[in-house]
Chains A and B, each alone.
Chain A
């Protein structure tokens, strides 16, 4: 299995809703990432988990709450979002975590397209 699987593919939510995005990989990768991508823009890093611990938080607002229940799963909990949070949310994984080996390929999921009304 060489895939990163994200669900749901599409999500529409109101500003008062609580929802979650899910990401799963079974490649034994030890680092997992959340990126946000607006149309025609590069992916912007939100969070990095290394060995299931949050290692990087790029000053993301608290209405986004990441969770890594185990080495294969990564969640992004959403609450009280704003319309400007509408974007494609990409999960990615890499074999090694920080300081544990050469940088390798980032494997991206297909993304969850979020619309906030």
Chain B
């Protein structure tokens, strides 16, 4: 089955700095890579996703890059704000209705 590894497990940055979280996956059949943000006591919410036919996607301060050959994808948050503090999970999936394999999570703290 799929194995998704995520690093780092914790990340502290100063407000305004950039944050980068990296994930690797093992199954070349995975074709969908979402990133979820989970605030304490809240549900995971999708913040950005990328499909295997795209190398990069950006949405305001958030971007995701995908390297299919190397089987890794990364989340980039620029101009971080305190409200970005949360746990971020990457995931990989092979298709609708199938298993979403989650990474182990990164606890991001943005220091004002």
Real complex partners, A and B? yes
State the A residues within 8 Å of B (CB).
30-31, 40-45, 48, 50, 55-56, 58, 90, 94-106, 108-111
Interchain nearest-CB distance for B44 vs A (Å): 5
Interchain nearest-CB distance for A43 vs B (Å): 6
Question: Which of B45, B49, B89, B98 is the one whose CB lies under 8 Å from A56?
Answer: B98
Q: Does B102 contact A (CB under 8 A)?
A: yes
Q: Does B16 contact A (CB under 8 A)?
A: no
Q: Name 30 A/B residue pairs within 8 A (Cβ), A-sorted.
A: A30-B97, A31-B96, A40-B105, A41-B105, A42-B89, A42-B102, A42-B105, A43-B102, A44-B102, A45-B99, A45-B100, A55-B97, A56-B99, A58-B99, A90-B43, A97-B96, A97-B97, A98-B95, A98-B97, A99-B97, A102-B51, A102-B95, A103-B31, A103-B32, A103-B93, A103-B98, A106-B44, A108-B44, A108-B45, A110-B43
Total residue contacts A-B, CB cutoff 8 A: 74
Q: A42-B89, A42-B102, A43-B102 are in contact. Are A100 and B43 (CB under 8 A)?
A: no
State the B residues within 8 Å of A (CB).
31-32, 34, 36, 42-46, 49, 51, 87, 89, 93-100, 102-105, 107
Residues of B within 8 A of A44 (CB): 102
Question: Which of B43, B45, B46, B99 is the one whose CB lies under 8 Å from A111?
Answer: B43
Smallest Cβ-Cβ distance to B44: which chain A residue: A108
Residues of B within 8 A of A97 (CB): 96-97
Q: How far is the CA of A94 from the CA of B49 in the complex (A)?
A: 14
Question: Are the C-beta atoms of A110 and B42 separated by less than 8 Å?
Answer: yes
Interchain nearest-CB distance for B22 vs A (Å): 16
Residues of A within 8 A of B103 (CB): 42
Q: How far is the CA of A42 from the CA of B15 in the complex (A)?
A: 26
Question: Which of A41, A48, A58, A110 is the one whose CB lies under 8 Å from B97?
Answer: A48
Residues of B within 8 A of A100 (CB): 96-97
Q: How far is the CA of A58 from the CA of B101 in the complex (A)?
A: 12
Residues of A within 8 A of B102 (CB): 42-44
Question: Are the C-beta atoms of A90 and B44 separated by less than 8 Å?
Answer: yes
